[in-house]
Amino acid sequence: MKTVRLIIKGKVQGVFYRATAKDVADLTGVKGWVKNLPDNNVEITATATEETLQKFINWCKQGPPKARVDDVIVEELDLEEFNGFRIIR
């Protein structure tokens, strides 16, 4: 298991990015959270297996249909355990 922080940059607010990320996380078994940042980016902290995280990160680079992802910054964190995946408002 591994935990990462993702900063997703681009047109990622107001395009259902958080809701879709939660759906993808729930389907794939990724645990953690997602929230909007004041600078119009999105932050995700995610825990899963290496393989599952890579698939999730690949999805994050595309996002939902109305999103335009310019960059995804990935930072490895100390392992964190979460119960499910939630949207922080």
Strands (E) across the chain are located at: 2-11, 31-36, 42-48, 68-77, 85-88
- Whether residue 2 contacts residue 47, with contact meaning beta carbons closer than 8 Å, is answered with yes
Catalytic residue among 18, 40, 41, 89: 18
Q: Provide CB contacts within 8 A for 37, sequence distance 6+.
A: 7, 43
Q: Fill in the amino acid letter for 85.
A: F
Question: Is 18 annotated as catalytic?
Answer: yes
Catalytic residue among 5, 36, 41, 58: 36
Question: Is 58 annotated as catalytic?
Answer: no
Active site residue ranges: 18, 36
